[in-house]
Structure 1
């Protein structure tokens, strides 16, 4: 963090060849906007910043991680419920089941852009918990479903209320953490994605194998009921741990000095541009649509989600190893846990060196190898190792990609919100067709699904390289403008 006072050393060449050293304070014009902290010493500013980050790391970050864990768990719970007989009980064939998976993403896409733009202007402190309460309520209602159409309707409604959540958390993370800090923090809350996959298998082993017939309910119904109840409890607790934005959060969450520091840090990270948003709700959306970065990041996100298309069918893929249901549930856990640990390291490195493109390309090429192994061998050890590789690339890539887009397009907030939601919407379109690549008649190799994963990996590499090239082009233009005006080097696009 730049200090409020810097020491400038000027060497003055006098006729007597005596060098005099002049020390003069350099004014920090950004810091001077914040009256409550502008007179603080560098040491005091560092202490305020440490206190701010510590509160964010121990209040906001764990809360959104828990909420996202439940969010992703809710999204994939039907995968294990399918193994426990849900599809057969509802009289659905493979095409109808895949339609239910796809319809979730229809609702998911419809709500994202308008909801995230509204969140950027309004109060995420209340809107995020409200979304969670809504999807949890629908989940609790799912055990009452008796036919395929009810399953499809519930999945659509869950998608509709879940849609705003991940883009809103991405927006908030980029509003509170600096561009160096956000990759690691995004990978931590994105762990909800990876850990939910592991937790889903463990819960399935505990519930689906032990609660069959309890109170005359099928085990898969208990699975959905218990998950929905826990999700409601987490939503209620979250009202006390979710802030608004740095310019609209009261002292219920941070002190006045910490709030001023949060705004100051964001301005420094964005090259002196304020987080304050002006204009109407949709002004930022149209700005995002005119920016080539929006479409490049949408391309990366779309490709990464195709590479992750195995996710809704991961239990079925693991089942091809030939173990019984209980072991199948349990051995789902290690791949996402390993992917989470690797993702933490990759995201930390990305934030430290402010490089994103190659931090996406490296892991996704590993996933490409995993897909090739999956579709070419039935060797149990090789296939299980391939499943670890499948999980690793998309999770690491998504964490870095979300941080990249919010770093490159920092202001205004509604534009950033629209970009995040737009990229997420475009990526979600893949869910309309990829579920049809993992039908039961494709077992055990799932060659069509594996081919889709390979294509997604290749497209990710292409779009990441294109985005790095465009960043370099924009930086070259900034450098030329600075040289022409005799200005020092300023803010740059992080590739």
Structure 2
């Protein structure tokens, strides 16, 4: 491995010299003293980091949402599960998920991503496989709970992990790209379920069992390989040479990614005491209910429009395909403009249109109702992606950011807990209760997003006035988002 020449060391040190006048912590392109091609380096990071991490999340979302596909292939009939029991099976997953998100992110901080993330994946793959051999409702219920427990640490862990590699303005696009695996999972889930459905009778197992078994075993296999291709942090990544490592540290100079920050409970408390960290949670809470009700109930909604089970499995693909494309497009726009609020407001409004159509169009027009599910998915997924990356971009301090990210998803998924109880069989086929709640939550999202937008702009104005008044930071390194140089992304 090569060493960094002395003149390049000096250049890098001068690049972040604190003797210059204190400046706003922003994400402008850095002068490159090493001659390294920054765009090529970012492309290499994306290729090394994103395929494995995105695959992990795709399988995670597939293993949690394939219950909707399994229901169409005989799950409830074989296990004698009533309508309300099925809803409780959906709910208990999120109870396990919510309870263990913050502890899992604390464990990530106390261990390493290379060890913790594949271990979680291995555990949930085993649990997902066991769902396929459940013989009664009690066994299936236990498996769903522990699936939530074992999957709880993946998303907040990966979001924190990426913040140690990329600048703040680069995080929206990459978290959104990572989250797009959720919509891809919906598309693949429908295709897989359609194909696996033909395995009915193999080993005397119904098709729904093979959905859980095959997709769970796939997760186990990928988890074992994941120990080899998940990387920790820039300082130890084997695919970087010393000049590249030094350049990554230099371009992250205005963040806390380079800080050596041991775990401390005071930093956890810092997140709990920050009102902004409590606002990011409702931002996702108001999106998680429509997100998970759509992903869990879409196959059922489509069958109620008059389509067969096999047709419904395939018709789940287009809404997710459109959602995936729009998620990436919105993420690119958010990154280029350094804005979050306008894109959340626009995407949520598109989803609102979809639910208004679902609530008002007669059931005799299945084509229009199906089109509205595309509108709903196309609005929900881009908003979720930006909301989930917002706290990562705006919270500084490694432990504080890890805690804030887990808080966001924990509070957010409480909406999913409620959502799993809304699409009750007696409300079929119009589903006014579920659609009405989803619509109300999306409207609430507009209010929460607007509140955050105003609050963050006010915080930025206060910091700007302090800088203009001559207030300077005592340390060269930015260790907290309370630093006068830190600017929040709105």
TM-score by length of 1: 0.88
Contact kept in structure 1, 2:91 and 2:421, CA below 8 Å = no
Q: For residue 494 of structure 1, give the secondary structure of its aligned residue in structure 2.
A: coil
Residue 139 in structure 1 maps to residue 153 in structure 2 = no
Contact kept? 1:117, 1:282, Cα under 8 Å: no
Q: Deviations over 1:96-151 (max 9, x none)?
A: 11111111111111111011022124201110000000000111112221111111
Mapped pair 1:221 → 2:201 = no
- Give the distance between the partners of 2:351 and 2:434, measured in 1 at CA: 13
CA deviation string 1:152-181 (max 9, x = no partner): 100001110100000001111222111222
Tell me the residue number matched to 1:458: 443
Q: Does 1:407 align with 2:390?
A: no
1:343–1:395: 8 Å Cα contact kept in structure 2? Answer: yes
Matches of 1:493 and 1:384, distance apart in 2: 39
Q: 1:251 to 1:165 in 2, by over 3 A?
A: closer
Map 1:85-234 → 2, pairs under 5 A: 85-208=74-197, 210-234=198-222
- Could you tell me whether the CA contact under 8 Å between 2:171 and 2:392 is conserved in 1? no
Counterpart-to-counterpart distance in 2, 1:29 and 1:188: 30
Task: Determine whether 1:418 maps to 2:403.
Answer: yes
Cα distance, 1:29 vs structure 2 = 2.6
Report the 3-state secondary structure (helix = DSSP H, G, I; strand = E; otherwise coil) of the residue aligned with 1:47. coil
Distance 2:430 2:280 in 1: 31
Instruction: Tell me, in whole angstroms, the C-alpha distance in 2 between the residues paired with 1:50 and 1:341.
Output: 23
- Secondary structure of the equivalent of 2:420? helix
Q: Deviation per CA, 1:24-68: give whole Å up to 9, x if none.
A: x99423599xxxxxxxx9556452533431222112101111111
**How far is the alpha carbon of 1:491 from its aligned partner?**
3.9
Q: Which of the two has higher C-alpha Rg? A: 1
Is the CA contact (8 Å cut-off) linking 1:63 and 1:242 kept in structure 2?
Answer: yes
What is the Cα deviation at residue 256 of structure 1?
A: 2.2
Distance 2:211 2:369 in 1: 28
Partner of 1:357: 341
Q: Cα deviation per residue 1:3-31 (whole Å; 9 max; x = unaligned)?
A: xx9xxxxxxxxxxxxxxxxxxx9942359
Structure 1 residues 251, 432: closer, same or farther in 2, change over 3 A? closer
Asked whether 1:300 is paired with 2:283, we answer yes
1:244 maps to which residue? 232
Shift of 1:95: 1.2
Shift in alpha-carbon separation, 1:295–1:48, aligned structure 2, 3 A: same
Aligned equivalent of 1:398, options 384, 392, 396? 384
Normalised to the residue count of structure 2, the TM-score between the two structures is 0.89
For residues 251 and 396 of structure 1, what CA distance do their matches in structure 2 show? 31
2:15 aligned with 1:28:
yes
CA distance, structure 1, for counterparts of residue 18 and residue 322 of structure 2: 42
Matches of 1:97 and 1:486, distance apart in 2? 59
- State which of 420, 444, 449 in structure 1 corresponds to 2:429: 444
Q: For residues 416 and 319 of structure 1, what CA distance do their matches in structure 2 show?
A: 42
Inter-partner Cα distance in structure 2 for 1:142 and 1:337: 27
- Aligned mates of 1:56, 1:31 — CA distance in 2: 28
Query: Which among 297, 316, 339 is matched to residue 313 of structure 1?
Result: 297
> Which runs of structure 1 show a deviation greater than 6 angstroms over 4 or more consecutive aligned residues?
486-489
Alignment of 1:351-390 (within 5 A): 351-377=335-361, 378=363, 379-390=365-376
What does the per-residue CA deviation read over 1:416-441, in whole Å, with 9 as the maximum and x for residues that have no partner?
Answer: 00001011011111232222211222
Task: Give unpaired runs (5+ residues) of structure 1.
Answer: 6-24, 33-40
Give SS of 1:294's match: helix
**2:132·2:211 contact (CA, 8 Å) conserved in 1?**
no
Write the distance in 2 (CA, Å) between the matches of 1:153 and 1:455. Answer: 32
Question: Looking at both structures, which has the greater relative contact order when contacts are Cα pairs under 8 Å and sequence separation is at least 6?
Answer: 2
- Bigger mean CA deviation after superposition, 182-191 or 337-346: 182-191
**Cα distance change, pair 494–446 in 1 and its aligned pair in 2 (3 A):** same
RMSD: 2.2
Partner Cα distance (1:274, 1:174) in 2: 7
Q: Deviations over 1:240-269 (max 9, x none)?
A: 2211133xx42423222222222222223x
Gaps of 5+ in 2: 1-6, 20-29, 474-483
1:347 to 292, 309, 331: 331
For the 8 Å contact 1:284–1:416, the answer to whether it is kept is no
Deviation at 1:490, TM superposition (A): 4.6
CA contact (8 A) 2:177 2:331 kept: no
Structure 1 residues 387 and 218: CA distance shift in structure 2, 3 A: same
The answer for the alignment partner of 1:494 in structure 2 is: 489
Equivalent-residue separation in structure 1 for 2:373 and 2:35 (angstroms)? 44
Whether the 8 Å contact between 1:121 and 1:281 is mirrored in structure 2 is: no
Using the alignment, how far apart are the partners of 1:135 and 1:401 within structure 2? 26
Most deviating of 419-428 and 430-439: 430-439
1:472 alignment partner in structure 2? 457
2:109 touches 2:263 (CA, 8 Å); kept in 1? no
SS at match of 1:102: helix
**Cα 1:278/1:346, change in 2 over 3 Å:** same
Is the Cα contact below 8 Å between 1:277 and 1:413 reproduced in 2?
no
